[in-house]
Amino acid sequence: MLVKTFAAAVRGVDAQTITIEVNTGGALGTTADKPGYFLVGLPDNAVREGQQRMEAALKNSGLRLPRYKTIINLAPADVRKEGSAFDLPITIGMLAATGVIPPDNLDQFFIMGELSLDGSLRPIKGALPIAIQARKQKFRGFILPKTNAREAAIVADLEVYGVETLNEAIDVLAGAGQEHLVKVNAREEFAANLNNYDVDFSDVRGQENIKRALELAAAGGHNVILIGPPGAGKTMLARRLPTILPPLTLHEALETTKIHSVAGILSGQALVTTRPFRAPHHTISDVALVGGGSDPMPGEISIAHNGVLFLDELPEFKRTVLEVLRQPMEERRVTISRAKVSVDYPASFILVASMNPCPCGYYNHPEKECVCAPGVVKRYVSKISGPLLDRIDLHVEVTPVSYDELTAAERPRISSADIRERVLKARAIQAERFKNTPSIYCNAQMPSRMVREVCALDAAGIELLKTAMERLQLSARAYDRILKVARTAADLGGSPKIRLEDLSEAIHYRSLDREGWAG
């Protein structure tokens, strides 16, 4: 008997329908415990090993397969099938093909899930893109592990059944499992948890100049590097940057959720409603950062999509790791190519990096003396390549908070919501400015030709910038960056033109471009 079940393979952040054809022939007449089982269609080892899991799961679920020669084809046969999520659809197909369960309704459902030996189901990756593909192919429903049900259930017009065991999946196919139907209203879920952060800028004492720099970064989408001694608050401040970014739109939330679903990090969450914040350790490999592997998976830069990527102790990262960041930062996506497949992952994020000014951490410290040998400081800073610094607009020197600031009498503090309100006004100005260029949505993304048009200076501004370039010995790469940051400062001030104070502030944030810095 021939039956078909339907599943999906995830490629990038999208899914492709996989048809599982199960055909049974005559009895084998063998005394071996294992059934005659032939799996074709480019399965990987995880799919092949499913035979052992399925046999034990069937036995422990009170089910047995008749002894038939069984051929299973995963179509299309030229697409590699990877992962253990094919256990459940293959098992269901085998049960239906051998007459243990009726084959009714198999053509109405996508079925995915990894079987445990006791017949229970383990979570899968990519439930959301698979659910989107199921709706696109006009399937009635999707049967999957209960842990993943909420993320799949945000897809409208699709019945999503979250089951915990093989027997529960069989009940749903028989029409007796309505208690497993999971419903989630995407818009209500989105509205209920929007901007639900557990940190806030009101927690920060002092550091007003750093808060201002991060406000500029949020308002213009600028990358930023924080330079200061240990304990100055660099990490604490960076963690609060997502709280002042514009709230995610529903489209951005769905896009981000798809990536997190493919990466398998949702943990039962239905929808990502806050800006991601990712902080990989400096020992990370280039593959883990940008994505890849024999089975391509999204890396940290894609998981940080629509949010913040924080690289603490930037000079400690391997040079090769930092260099692979350059193209994704420019193109806002990463392409991973293999011999038979090429996948794209979005990677639009704000980079926040931090570093000590020297190996001991106390170069230019107001109270402590640097003990680094001559030349060591400059070599330490030079670990960061010029092309990478080209893509960082704001260089911010962080000084420790004084005892007086820490113990000062309580006074009103600015909250993240207050700062975010100003950021939103600036972003609205930019949305109007770039309404005819949909690929650009903030000042940091302007190409050089547009900088000349949007960031025009008056005579006084031209003279100030010229003087700054000469006296501070700023490098040529600082020129466009200064103009972009000045434009953002003007937007925050509600000014249609770049004022001298906006330009002066932007010049102040280019410390690493000054010739002789840390030299």
**Which has the closest alpha carbon to 186: 262, 131, 126?**
131
- Note the pLDDT of residue 408: 64
Residue type at 282?
H
Residue scoring higher pLDDT (425 or 371): 425
% of the chain at pLDDT higher than 90: 57
Residue 517: per-residue pLDDT: 52
Residue 244's pLDDT is 95
Of 21-35, 241-255, 395-409, 497-511, the least confident: 21-35
In this structure, the strands spanning 14-27 and 68-75 are antiparallel
Q: Picking from 181-185, 295-299, 319-323, 387-391, which range would have the lowest pLDDT averaged per residue? A: 387-391
Distance CA(157)–CA(16), nearest Å, equals: 19
Least trusted range by pLDDT, from 45-49, 321-325, 397-401 = 397-401
List of E strands, 347-388: 350-355
Q: What is the pLDDT of residues 88-110, one digit of tens each?
A: 999 999 999 988 999 889 999 99
Residue environment code for 404-436, b if the CB has 16+ CB neighbours within 10 A, otherwise e? eeeeeeeeeebebeebbebbeebbebbeebbee
pLDDT tens sequence across 361-406 = 777 777 788 888 877 887 888 888 878 887 899 999 888 876 666 6
At 161, the amino acid letter reads: Y
User: Mean pLDDT, the chain, as a whole number?
Assistant: 88
Count of residues for the chain? 519
Please compute the mean of the pLDDT values over residues 313-339 and round it to a whole number: 88
115-173 pLDDT per residue, tens: 999 999 999 999 999 999 999 999 999 999 999 999 999 999 999 999 999 999 999 99
d(CA 481, CA 160): 49
pLDDT-based confidence at 407, cuts 50/70/90? low
452 pLDDT tier (thresholds 50, 70, 90): confident
The angle formed by the CA atoms of residues 20, 25 and 29, to the nearest 5 degrees, is 130
Distance CA 99, CA 120 (A): 22
8-24 per-position pLDDT tens digit? 999 889 999 999 999 98
pLDDT score recorded for residue 33: 41
The β-bridge partners of 162 are: 144
Q: What is the DSSP string of 45-87?
A: HHHHTHHHHHHHHHHHTT----SEEEEEEEESTTS-B-SSTTH
Rounded Cα distance between 241 and 367, Å, is 28
Mean pLDDT within 59-65: 91
pLDDT for the residue numbered 188: 87
Please state, in angstroms and rounded to a whole number, the distance separating the CA atoms of residues 343 and 337: 6
Residues in Cβ contact with 199 at an 8 Å cutoff, skipping those fewer than 6 apart: 239, 240, 243
Q: Looking at residues 293-313, what average pLDDT do you find?
A: 91
User: Is the model more confident about 27 or about 351?
Assistant: 351
* Strand 181-182 to 159-163 pairing: antiparallel
Does the pLDDT at position 219 exceed 80?
A: yes
Q: Where are the alpha helices (DSSP H) in 297-402?
A: 300-303, 319-323, 326-331, 376-381, 386-389
> Helix, strand or coil for residue 214?
helix
DSSP H helices in 163-233: 166-173, 186-193, 208-220
Segment 194-216 shows an average pLDDT of 88
Delineate the domains of the chain, giving CATH numbers in brackets. Answer: 2-184 (3.30.230.10), 201-434 (3.40.50.300)
pLDDT band for position 330 (50/70/90)? confident
pLDDT of residue 32: 43
Q: Would you call 518 helix, strand, or coil by DSSP? A: coil
Percent of the chain with pLDDT over 70: 94
- What pLDDT is recorded for position 473? 77
pLDDT of the residue at 194: 80
Q: Which pLDDT does position 94 carry in this prediction?
A: 93
Of the candidates 230, 240, 219, the residue with the CA atom closest to the CA atom of residue 312: 230
